[in-house]
């Protein structure tokens, strides 16, 4: 978890895990289906962006995962019981490998209540290879956020323009 200018970045695995940058991205976040990361909110948090930073290129299969908020630990993560405002489907390009160093992301507007959980779940069409670090950009609920430009490319500005980002197709 990192914190700066009013926002926090939740990531899985935790930043700094492993001895190299590449070891911080794990295959299980890409190649196997099911729940991959859960973040518990110690206070109400607003979620502005969710995504995956690709560590090694994925196979040429569509990589997609869902992100959902459950209001308490031990709740049900069924998409039929979650409010649409607290659910997002992140979808990579169809039948295309995603190169290493690329970020697959989606701008969202979710709220995780105190004690609630933000959960990432890789769907049934997981690629056969690739690694990723999953992340969410969050801030204390209702507070001003400096530097977050949800829907316009993410945090801050970069020069030259970013070419290693893929916006979710869903």
- Omega before residue 38 within 30° of 0, cis: no
Place of tokens 């109400």: 44
By CB neighbour count within 10 A (0-12 exposed, 13-18 middle, 19+ buried), where does 84 fall? exposed
Instruction: Identify the DSSP state of 26.
Output: B
Domains detected in the chain: 2-167 (2.60.120)
Q: How much is the pLDDT for 17?
A: 55
Predicted local confidence at residue 22, as pLDDT:
57
> Can you say whether the dihedral through the CA atoms of 147, 1, 123, 100 is positive or negative?
positive
Helix ranges (H only) for the chain are 28-31
| Model pLDDT for residues 25-67, shown as the tens digit of each residue | 777 788 888 888 888 999 999 999 999 999 888 888 889 999 9
Residues listed for the chain: 170
Pairing verdict, β 7-12 and 34-40: unpaired
Q: What is the mean pLDDT of the chain?
A: 78
């Amino acid at each position: 978890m990192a914190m700066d200018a009013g926002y926090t970045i939740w990531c899985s695995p935790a930043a700094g895990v492993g001895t190299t940058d590449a070891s911080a991205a794990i295959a299980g976040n890409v190649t196997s289906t099911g729940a991959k990361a859960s973040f518990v909110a110690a206070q109400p948090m607003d979620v502005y962006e969710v995504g995956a930073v690709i560590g090694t290129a994925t196979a040429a299969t569509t990589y997609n995962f869902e992100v959902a908020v459950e209001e308490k630990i031990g709740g049900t993560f069924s998409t039929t019981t979650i409010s649409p405002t607290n659910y997002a489907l992140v979808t990579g390009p169809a039948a295309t490998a995603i190169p290493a160093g690329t970020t697959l992301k989606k701008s969202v507007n979710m709220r995780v209540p105190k004690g609630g959980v933000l959960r990432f779940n890789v769907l049934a069409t997981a690629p056969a290879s690739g690694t990723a670090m999953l992340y969410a950009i969050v801030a204390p609920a209702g507070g001003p956020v400096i530097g977050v430009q949800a829907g316009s490319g993410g945090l801050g500005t970069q020069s030259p323009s970013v070419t290693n980002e893929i916006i979710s197709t869903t």
